[in-house]
Chains A and B, each alone.
Chain A
Amino acid sequence: DIQMTQSPSSVSASVGDRVTVTCRASQGISNWLAWYQQKPGKAPKLLICRASILQSGVPSRFSGSGSGTDFTLTITSLQPEDFATYYCQQANSFPFTFGPGTKVDIK
Chain B
Amino acid sequence: EVQLVESGGGLAQPGGSLRLSCAASGFTLSSYWMYWVRQTPGKGLVWVSCIKNDDRGTRYADSVRGRFTISRDNAKNTLSLQMDSLRADDTAVYYCVRVTAGRDAFDIWGQGTMVTVSS
Considering only residues 1-58 of chain B, those with a C-beta below 8 Å from chain A are 33, 35, 37, 44-47, 50, 52, 57
Does A43 contact B111, Cβ atoms closer than 8 Å? yes
Taking Cβ atoms with an 8 Å cutoff, the residues of B that contact A are: 33, 35, 37, 44-47, 50, 52, 57, 59, 61, 95, 99-100, 102-107, 109-112
- The contact of A43 among B52, B100, B104, B109, by CB within 8 Å, is B109
- A84-107 Cβ-contact flags toward B at 8 Å (1 or 0): 000101010011111111000000
Q: In this assembly, does A34 line the interface, its C-beta being within 8 Å of a C-beta of chain B?
A: yes
Does A46 contact B50, Cβ atoms closer than 8 Å? no
- A12-43 Cβ-contact flags toward B at 8 Å (1 or 0): 00000000000000000000101010100001
Taking Cβ atoms with an 8 Å cutoff, the residues of A that contact B are: 32, 34, 36, 38, 43-46, 49-50, 87, 89, 91, 94-101
Other than A43-B110, A46-B105, A94-B57, give 18 A-B pairs with Cβ distance below 8 A: A43-B95, A44-B109, A46-B107, A49-B102, A49-B104, A89-B105, A91-B103, A91-B104, A94-B50, A94-B52, A95-B50, A95-B59, A95-B61, A96-B99, A98-B37, A98-B46, A98-B47, A101-B44
